[in-house]
């Protein structure tokens, strides 16, 4: 009980003292997760859109596959990425293991299925008349697509937020392919794992609180962007 | 597109672009090492002077000795500092590593609950202590992760002629710190290197006392080895050797000698690369 209170006190202290190490850890977490989510959205939204708005053989299977991939264990993704980018793996010569870039690759694989699956349900939920109307009004396929996506923008935003939540909070993959290197690949979650293993529960807990605060701020920001649009 | 939305998108884009700044090239040296050296905090004082001197960043990857050597074997790191002499010799014999140097030593101790239910306090050797633990089926936590400490523990069981198994023998599969905390929570016995133990007992993170120590078999030497550039041409061999040079230099050895004196009242490691640093 004592270290829970101590953790909260320490968290407050650390946030307001602008501790350099904490600051760089938080910034690195944000950087890696933002890049991953940016790339995941770039890939995931179009794929989800195509699957969601078209009828074809094997669609149900494909949707099931993406839904399953949402539950991909983070350590398994870590292991897969690891075996590909280790010096012994096919991508070994790139020297990516234990770099932030490796963590981005891992998080991309974690987040993309979520964004694809949620984009599928978002675009499927759109009234089919939107598509028909746009097309009869002579909209180009691209224009039709943006119209549908714009109709579904709130659900798409939710997809991106869900993906972000997954990657900012995951530890298995980040630990395995990042290596938890101080000042280089140490993110909030891997730092928490390390501090816990060192018996520094208070410090770990305060990092956890900061993580929540960061996630909260990101959601507030996105919510604010949504509000400004509507 | 509405101007406001443009602004939002521009903000996001700016953040993403600025994020790529970490891709900037900076010379880095990768060192795989054991959780015991990392958890003790030694590297935080030992490495910065070297980094400054050579204008390089040392990336420390703390894992168990087995994995640290595996990473070196695969060429995923440039240099490795571990503590399991039998594995290190095999590593060098198989040409994965070159220029192994002795760095320092401490020793392993057996800790357990104050009441000492297995009565190991009076044991003459570590093997005898382990026999008593197994005869009494006293809870024992094994690292179970192929780390240097785990290898040493297995060697002791072997010496005692026991194949440990049963509900009293728990294989944690975790780092030294985790296992110390686990042993403390479960009031169990475990083996630990003295460095990590002192760091934990000094920080009041655990309460278990040392119940057995002093057997020469519990000697715990640390070695540093460069990855063989003939096997892995991409490794930063020159800087790996520079690091080995620094750690085994009189200055580096002095840092090791003094480390922990202030915080724990005694040094955590004894340097051995030079006489009288």
Contacts of A58 (CB under 8 A, 6+ apart): none
Q: Which fold has domain B28-105+221-271?
A: D-Maltodextrin-Binding Protein; domain 2 (3.40.190)
Q: Delimit the CATH 3.40.190.10 region(s) of chain B.
A: 28-105+221-271, 107-218
**A90 has a chain B CB within 8 A of its CB:** no
Farthest-apart Cα atoms in chain B, separation: 82
Q: Which residues of A touch B67 (CB under 8 A)?
A: none
Structure tokens belonging to residue A85? 């980018």
Find the helix or strand (DSSP H, E) in which B226 lies: strand B219-227
Neighbouring CB atoms inside 10 A of A221's CB total 13
- Predicted TM-score (pTM) of the model is 0.80
**A230 has a chain B CB within 8 A of its CB:** no
Per-residue confidence in pLDDT tens, chain A, 230 aa: 677 787 788 778 877 777 788 888 999 999 999 999 999 999 999 999 999 998 899 999 999 999 999 999 999 999 999 999 998 889 988 989 999 999 999 999 999 999 999 999 999 888 888 888 888 888 888 888 888 888 888 889 999 999 999 999 999 999 999 988 888 899 999 999 988 887 787 788 888 988 998 889 888 888 887 777 66
**B173 has a chain A CB within 8 A of its CB:** no
Q: How do residues B193-217 score in pLDDT, each as one tens digit?
A: 998 898 888 888 899 999 999 999 9
A38: domain CATH number?
A: 1.10.3720.10
Could you say which of A98, A185, A198 has the minimum Cβ distance to residue B39? A198
| Number of folded domains that form chain A | 1
Q: Which chain A residue's Cα is nearest to B30? A: A98
Q: Which chain A residue's Cα is nearest to B176? A: A197
**Can you tell me the distance from the alpha carbon of A8 to that of A190, in angstroms, rounded to the nearest whole number?**
19
Range B107-218 classified under CATH 3.90.650.10:
no
The domain of A87 spans 2-229
**A229 has a chain B CB within 8 A of its CB:** yes
**Nearest C-alpha of chain A: how many angstroms from B244?**
20
Is the Cβ–Cβ distance between B176 and B17 less than 8 Å?
no
Is the Cβ–Cβ distance between A77 and A171 less than 8 Å?
no
CB contact under 8 A, A180 and B59: no
């Amino acid at each position: 009980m004592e270290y829970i209170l101590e953790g909260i006190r320490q968290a407050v202290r650390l946030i307001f003292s602008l501790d350099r190490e904490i600051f760089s850890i938080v910034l690195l977490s944000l950087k890696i997760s933002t890049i991953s989510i940016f790339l995941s959205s770039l890939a995931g939204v179009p794929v989800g859109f195509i699957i969601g708005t078209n009828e074809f053989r094997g669609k149900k299977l494909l949707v099931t596959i993406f839904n399953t991939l949402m539950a991909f264990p983070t350590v398994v993704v870590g292991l897969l990425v690891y075996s590909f980018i280790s010096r012994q793996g096919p991508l070994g010569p790139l020297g990516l293991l234990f770099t932030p870039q490796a963590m981005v690759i891992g998080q991309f694989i974690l987040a993309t299925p979520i964004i694809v699956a949620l984009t599928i349900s978002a675009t499927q939920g759109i009234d089919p008349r939107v598509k028909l109307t746009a097309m009869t009004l002579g909209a180009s396929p691209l224009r039709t697509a943006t119209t549908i996506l714009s109709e579904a923008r709130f659900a798409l935003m939710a997809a991106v937020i869900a993906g972000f939540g997954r990657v900012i909070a995951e530890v298995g993959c980040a630990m395995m392919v990042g290596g938890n290197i101080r000042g280089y690949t140490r993110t909030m979650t891997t730092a928490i794992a390390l501090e816990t293993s060192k018996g520094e529960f208070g410090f770990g807990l305060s990092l956890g609180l900061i993580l929540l605060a960061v996630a909260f701020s990101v959601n507030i920001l996105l919510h604010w962007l949504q509000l400004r649009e509507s | 597109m509405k101007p406001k939305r443009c602004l939002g998108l521009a903000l996001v884009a700016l953040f993403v672009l600025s994020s790529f700044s970490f891709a900037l090239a900076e010379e880095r040296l990768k060192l795989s090492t054991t959780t015991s050296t990392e958890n003790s905090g030694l590297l935080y004082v030992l490495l910065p002077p070297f980094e400054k001197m050579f204008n390089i960043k040392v990336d420390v990857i703390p894992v168990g000795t087995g994995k640290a050597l595996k990473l070196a074997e695969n060429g995923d790191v440039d240099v490795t500092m571990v503590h399991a002499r039998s594995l290190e010799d095999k590593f060098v014999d198989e040409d994965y590593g070159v220029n192994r140097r002795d760095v320092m030593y401490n020793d392993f101790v057996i800790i357990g609950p104050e009441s000492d239910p297995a009565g190991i306090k009076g044991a003459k050797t570590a093997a005898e202590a382990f026999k008593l633990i197994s005869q009494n089926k006293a809870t024992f936590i094994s690292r179970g992760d192929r780390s240097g400490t785990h290898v040493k523990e297995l060697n002791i069981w072997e010496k005692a002629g026991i194949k440990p198994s049963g509900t009293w023998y728990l294989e944690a599969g975790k780092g030294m710190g985790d296992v110390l905390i686990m042993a403390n929570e479960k009031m169990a016995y475990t083996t630990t290197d003295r460095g990590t133990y002192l760091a934990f007992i000094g920080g009041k993170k655990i309460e278990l006392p040392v119940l057995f120590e002093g057997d020469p078999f519990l000697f715990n030497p640390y070695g540093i080895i460069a990855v063989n550039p003939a096997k892995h041409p991409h490794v930063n061999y020159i800087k790996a050797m520079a690091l080995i040079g620094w750690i085994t230099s009189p200055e580096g050895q002095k840092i090791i000698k003094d480390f922990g004196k202030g915080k724990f009242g005694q040094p955590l490691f004894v340097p051995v690369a030079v006489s009288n640093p």
